[in-house]
Amino acid sequence: MRTLDKDGRLLCELQGKIFESSAAMYGTSSAVFVRRYMNSEYAARMDSPGALDRPTDAHEAFEALNDEYGTSSYGSVTFSSDELFWMGYVYRLWAYVYEMSSRSVYRLCNVSELHSLYYAYHTLDPLNAVSRIMETKGLSVTEAQRLEAGVQLLRKIRSQRIN
């Protein structure tokens, strides 16, 4: 677990703005956008050290998602921009502070779960909100870190089998 420093806050803010912009600028429903984003190569780049060294914006994120998944107009339910900003911020904070991949965080708390918690938790400090979500899921910091370490080890084993 690491502390939320200036770089972490900037990444949270950037991802929050990308999510917020998706309400007006991305062609799918909010749930589809969030699922695509959290499982994308773009989110994986945001997980890596030095993500702030390369300037980025919402348009670049949307282009990367369209390149990876193709364009779509699936779904019609769009969350409010406030809800989306909060969700983007919380997901990035969770990944950054607990040193987990976006994919792993999404597996722990998918878009419908996080959206259902918005009204209960959006006034809390985001770090406190993540702690409470983990607590309700019965996850401690060490368990979350073990899960992430296991995922990374499994990926390493799989890549060695392929090569």
| pLDDT tens digits, 52-77 | 787 688 889 999 999 998 887 777 78
Residue 18 is assigned to a structural domain of this protein: yes
Q: Is residue 1 part of a domain?
A: no
The predicted model gives 30-44 an average pLDDT of 94
Contacts of 64 (CB under 8 A, 6+ apart): 40, 41, 42
Dist. CA 110–CA 106, nearest whole Å? 5
End-to-end CA, the chain: 32
Query: pLDDT band for position 142 (50/70/90)?
Result: low
Q: Is the pLDDT of residue 146 over 90?
A: no
Query: Is residue 47 in some structural domain?
Result: yes
- Which residue, among 86, 84, 79, 34, has the nearest Cα to 61 in the 3D structure? 34
Is there a domain that residue 116 lies in? yes
Look up the domain containing 32 and give its range: 6-162
- Whole-model pTM: value is 0.83
Asked if residue 158 belongs to a domain, the reply is yes
Report the domain count for the chain: 1
